[in-house]
Structure 1
Amino acid sequence: MGTAETKAILKRFTRNNLKHPTYQALAELGKVIKTIFLCEYLNSEKIRREIHERLNVIENWNSANSFIFYGKGGQISTNRLEDQEIAVLSLHLLQNCLVYITP
């Protein structure tokens, strides 16, 4: 197709090659995109309200996760990968159950 994702391109650059023109161009493009977004955000009350509402949903979801994942202060307190995986998968199972029972 003749295209590549930015992530794939940036992986080719090492710490010693940050002065490469392609890398610098992509970095500047990223700054431009962020600036455009900030200008649109500041200009539009509708966008600000929408983002605020979505952030509230995420914060509420995180609060629910803290409530249902209460053991050991909500922290995964083991270094064993298998136990960490079981804890995270259990949390995902509980999250899915909440989605199904919440109207």
Structure 2
Amino acid sequence: MDIARGLGLFVLTALAEIVGCYLPWLWLRQGATAWLLLPAAASLALFVWLLTLHPAASGRVYAAYGGVYVATALVWLRVVDGVRLSLTDWVGAGVALLGFTIIVAGWRG
């Protein structure tokens, strides 16, 4: 799997995890309906399934995923929560994505 495809798949994976955690947060912290727990569970199941689509050992997948998750969570922070990202947010996301790139570049089919 090339780095661009891996990145795209990891972004989808991160979004599935974030949505799966955000919906219960809305229920618990914002008083939203408990019915949000059903799509949250489905989103977390999708997250787990997406992780299985990567061609590397699970530990490498989790390590590489972490870098993409950090960057995706910061984009979520900006888009959904409306928080302006700081310079350190951007630098941290860049470092995390560099780690992802290094790990994925070393994957052997």
Structure of higher CA gyration radius: 1
TM over 0.5: same fold? Answer: no
- What TM-score do you get using the length of structure 2 for normalisation? 0.31
- What TM-score do you get using the length of structure 1 for normalisation? 0.33
User: Larger relative contact order (C-alpha < 8 A, sep ≥ 6)?
Assistant: 2
